[in-house]
Structure 1
Amino acid sequence: MSELLARTSSREITEWMAYERVTGPLDIRLRTEISAGIVAATVANSNGSKRRAKPSDFLPTWFKRKKTVEEIWQDVMKANTALGGTYRRAE
């Protein structure tokens, strides 16, 4: 972590955090869980499940709740502050 902070600005880290919130996890292990959910839903649906399964039915709970744009912005601002960043309003 110290090497990351020495080589990367608070602003860049904050931008990556925002990007990840929009596009999904950057960590390949987390993306694998999403792929596994797709496979699990396909298997369930192909075996005559009474209700149509969705990939989200098989995902860990942290993927289920979508945050509002305001909540995401608040998270970005908290992370920016925690990493020593500052905020200036556009004039």
Structure 2
Amino acid sequence: MRQLLATAGARELAEWQAYERVAGPLGGARGDVQAALIATVIAAVNRGKGQRAPSVQDFMPRWDRTRVRKTPEELFKLAMAANSAFGGTVNTTTP
């Protein structure tokens, strides 16, 4: 990620973001959607009479199950604590 941010400008990142809005998610997120779509179809054709048809969302993995949302400041403190725990350093110089 660091290399990407060092070599790609804001314009290029915005172009990729726009592309993803048109073409759908890239990387692992796209695979999650594809797998959920297949699971939805299989479940739909095998459901019992009178059962509701499943939706793609029924089969989408939910990675963030945090019930209490944290503020950006709280997330930053957690990231800094993890960085420190792993012996990391903070680079404050700008390229």
Distance 1:36-1:2 versus aligned 2 partners, 3 A rule: closer
Cα deviation digits, residues 46-66 of structure 1 (max 9, x gap): 21241122223322458xxxx
- C-alpha change, 1:16 and 1:48, in structure 2 (3 Å) is same
The alignment's TM-score, normalised by the length of structure 2, stands at: 0.50
Structure with the greater relative contact order (CA < 8 A, sep ≥ 6): 1 or 2?
1
In structure 1, the residue matched to 2:2 is 2
Pair 1:35 & 2:34 matched: yes
Q: Which has the higher helix share?
A: 1
Counterpart amino acid of 1:24?
G
Q: Secondary structure at the match of 1:51?
A: coil
State how far apart, in whole Å, the 2-side matches of 1:37 and 1:5 are.
31
Per-residue CA deviation, residues 54-86 of structure 1 (Å, 9 max, x unaligned), is 223322458xxxxxxxxxxxxxxxxxxxxxxxx
Amino acid at match of 1:11: R
Q: 1:48: which partner in 2? A: 47
Q: After TM superposition, where is structure 1 displaced by more than 3 Å over at least 4 residues in a row?
A: none
Q: Quote the residue 1:18 is aligned against.
A: 18
Structure 2: give runs of 5+ residues left out of the alignment: 64-95
Q: Where does structure 1 lack aligned partners over 5 or more consecutive residues? A: 63-91
Q: How many residues align?
A: 61
RMSD: 2.2
Tell me the distance in 1 between the aligned counterparts of 2:47 and 2:13.
Answer: 46
> What are the residue-to-residue correspondences of 1:72-87 with 2, within 5 Å?
none
Q: CA deviation at 1:37?
A: 0.9
